[in-house]
Amino acid sequence: MEATTYVVSNELAKISSLLPSNKKRSLIVHSLINALGLLSHNQDQEMLPIRVVKPVPAQYDDLAAYHTRDYLEFILDPKNSSGAVVEQDDVLEYGMEDDCPPFPGLPHYVRYVAGATLTAVRDLREGRCKTAICWDGGRHHAQKSRASGFCYVADCVLAILALRRLLPDPHNPAVLRKPKVMYLDLDLHFSDGVYEAFHTSSSSQASSHFLHLSIHHAAPGFFPASPLAVLPDPSAEGFNPYTLSLPLQRGASDATFARIWKLVENVKDAFRPDFVVLQCGVDGLAGDPYAVWNWGLSGAEGSFAWCVGRVLAWGCRTLLLGGGGYSSPNAARAWAYITALARKEPLPVDTPIPDHSGFPLYAPSFTLDVPAGHMQDQNTDAYLTEVERIYGRAVSALRERDIEAHDDEWATRYIPMFLDVYEDVGYWDYCTG
């Protein structure tokens, strides 16, 4: 029975809790999950065992797999986040302003968050688990050479790059192949940092081994302001079916997610991933200070947990990452629920919050549930029908590209190998008499 890996340590929780946008959230999340007994071994045969793994802080070379040298030298220098006077030009160049202010401990934060995500990736690649969880990861706005949107390190990108490294073919271990990685983002905000890391304006240059799909809100003035956040146009020249966006309007509810989910399933079926990276931002849940969507945690088809459960049922090796979520108690509720789901032991949504240091934060209900509110869902039938039409064409393009990529792989990798084998055994001499 394969275990579920859960990456945490006291150092990680403490340093992540310094993040200005989510102060103390990490401690609140891990405290609730631990208080619910989800980090303990259980004799129940139905519950998957859990491996609690301490993160290995990322080294410079780990971070340099994506980030530029200049950015790393700036952000890893303690004097640039210790309150000392810093050149204003550097502050602007590296995005260390507004939503990404420098804070004491930032170099350690960068190393620990990236290292935690890469520790989870290592367990997945080495077959120690089917699902790996790193709730302190999911920093999907960080750019190659600057911080952005509360994100200082692009751990999602680093994870994808690591997962794409060659692995033995499961059907022929003597042959190395590049795994297919699907990145699915459920955060309220568009995953611009991940999209831009892998997006190419040329469809012919797009990699058939990585697919990006972000489900998010997009509107004028809503962060991030990106032309890439809109619905794709499959008829446009250079359309890339491997980098997809699916924006939803205000009030997106369980019913809306239930309707679009078949499109997500169609994309997955066409792509056939080996690994899935699922960014589980929870700022779309009802009760979040952003108050844009009206997503419930559980109890209905299309709820947040229902969607995550569908991904876990795909059978791929899956990395679960955190993300946005600015009601810390609700983020803890959601990620605790998903942790139980990953162990195949779902908790009732009316589970009482256990007595622990964070107990008063869960007033007034003191239960695990995050119920939907009464916001009107502005995702009309006409809009969702248009989304379905566009994604029908996108999936068709994806299937065509996948067939082409499969044929190319056989032509460049397997056919030469078979020719060598036949030559070794004298097959051609036999055929030619």
The answer to whether residues 207 and 242 touch, using CB atoms and an 8 Å cutoff, is yes
Catalytic residue (choose from 140, 141, 189, 216) = 141
**Residue 318's closest CA among 44, 48, 17, 98?**
48
SS3 state at 85: coil
The values of phi and psi at residue 188, to 5°, are -60, -30
Q: How far apart are CA 63 and CA 325, in angstroms?
A: 25
From residue 96, how far is each of 14, 139, 281, 282 by CA, in Å?
21, 15, 22, 24
Element (H, E) at 169: strand 167-169
| Cis peptide, bond prior to residue 224, ω within 30 of zero | yes
Neighbour-count burial for 165-203, b at 16+ CB within 10 Å, e otherwise: eebeeeeeeeeebbbbbbbbbbbbbbbbbbbbbbeeeeb
Look up tokens 């679960």; give the residue: 320
Q: Which residues contact 386 (CB under 8 A, 6 or more apart)?
A: 231
Q: Which residues contact 176 (CB under 8 A, 6 or more apart)?
A: 166, 167, 168, 169
The answer to whether residues 11 and 105 touch, using CB atoms and an 8 Å cutoff, is no
- String of DSSP letters for 120-141: HHHHHHTTSEEEEEETT---TT
Per the annotation, the verdict on 141 as an active-site residue is: yes
SS3 state at 205: helix
| Cis peptide, bond prior to residue 227, ω within 30 of zero | no
The answer to whether residues 282 and 331 touch, using CB atoms and an 8 Å cutoff, is yes
The answer to whether residues 319 and 276 touch, using CB atoms and an 8 Å cutoff, is yes
Instruction: Return the number of other C-beta atoms located less than 10 Å from residue 85's C-beta.
Output: 6
Give me the active site residues, please: 141
